[in-house]
Amino acid sequence: MTANQGSLTIAGCGLHPGHMTLETESLIKNAEKVLLVAPNPLSIQHIISLNNTTEHLGKYYNEEGISRPDIYKKMAMHIVDLVRNGVQVVTVFYGHPGVFVTSTRLASNVLKNEGYPVKMLPGIAADACLYADLDLDPADTGCQSYEATRFLLTRRTPDTSAALILWQLGLTGEHTNDHFKPGEQGLKALSRLLAEYYPASHKVCVYEAPTLPGFAPRIDWMTIEELATADVNTISTLYVPAGNEPTFAEDRLAWLGLTEADIEHWEEYEEFED
């Protein structure tokens, strides 16, 4: 990278100030220009205190009558313009900056095509917090992850032997792009779809990681039926635990040149035999 060449580094600050990595903190301190989207005042204050060039892109959300896609395009164009003007930009988004973040993805695609250096650093995302707060290991059952409305509006069969995470629960069925709440029938439709695959008694969890250090997460277990009228907001994520055991693919042992005796010691294998 030459001195006057613009560049983009995309960093994530986690969901609260305690999640900031040393690498990201050092990057922010040394950045020529910082563009920020963070959900809580403490993170904002912390980042501004690290670098006084920090500009909060949340301002685009306040523009009257602007739709969500237009907000993201405006953010992206602002990033692209600065880099094209030779600025070495660091964008800081909450959580992991590459997980469900449209504006950085748009800007990154444009800039990469134009030959600018673009790099992303990981951050602590909502699902990482969910694993910790619900005491889960996605390795146990496997884990599927979808955006809630896309999950509803695409024909796919969920694997009920694996966990399911649905992001943007608070925007389920919101088709106008103008509101930050579920569409009128959103949660009812999601509950109906899940009931096609899971027993009525199956419990799901509306989860919200704390956005301030020291606060408790929201962990609301409810039946799929109750989900239809659940109280959700823009930071709610839905966790659906696995409902049944997977089937053991015994025939594939031969693909590995193994026999059942070779994997007898596997805990998972013992479960398959139940």
Ligand X SMILES: C[S@@+](CC[C@H](N)C(=O)[O-])C[C@H]1O[C@@H](n2cnc3c(N)ncnc32)[C@H](O)[C@@H]1O
Residues of the shown chain interacting with ligand X in the complex, contacts defined by CB under 6 A: 15, 93-96, 99-101, 125-126, 167-170, 207-209, 211, 234-235, 237
Strand, helix or coil for residue 84: helix
60 carries an active-site annotation: no
Q: Give the number of other CB atoms < 10 A from CB of residue 79.
A: 26
Nearer to ligand X, 48 or 99 (CB): 99
Residue 240 CB, nearest approach to ligand X (Å): 13
The verdict on whether 192 is a catalytic residue reads: no
N residues, the chain? 274
Report the largest interatomic distance among the alpha carbons of the chain, rounded to a whole angstrom. 67
* Chain-centre distance for alpha carbon 146: 9
Considering the complex, what minimum distance in angstroms separates the CB of residue 135 from ligand X? Answer: 16
With CB atoms as reference, the residue minimizing the distance to ligand X is: 95
Q: Which residue is catalytic, options 60, 61, 72, 155?
A: 72
CA–CA gap between residue 146 and residue 109 (Å, rounded): 22
Minimal distance, residue 83 CB to ligand X, in Å: 21
Query: What single-letter DSSP state applies at residue 224?
Result: H
Catalytic residue among 60, 61, 68, 116: 68
| Residue 252 falls in the annotated catalytic set | no
Report d(CA 256, CA 157) in Å as an integer.
28
State the minimum distance, in angstroms, from the CB of residue 8 to ligand X: 17
Residue 193 or 263: the one with the smaller Cβ distance to ligand X is: 193
The residue from 94, 116, 198, 207 that is catalytic is 94
- Minimum CB distance to ligand X smaller for 116 or for 167: 167
The rounded distance, in Å, linking the Cα atoms of 274 and 248 is 11
163 in Cβ contact with 241 (< 8 Å): yes
Identify the CA nearest to 31 among candidates 2, 5, 52. Answer: 52
- Quick one: 103 or 160, whose CB is closer to ligand X? 103
DSSP annotation of 3 reads T
Report, in Å, the least distance between residue 117 CB and ligand X.
Answer: 22
Give 141-189 as a DSSP string: H-EEEEEHHHHHHS-----TTSEEEEE-GGGTT--SSS-SS--TTHHHH
Q: State which residue, 44 or 126, has the beta carbon closest to ligand X.
A: 126
Q: Which residues are catalytic?
A: 68, 72, 94
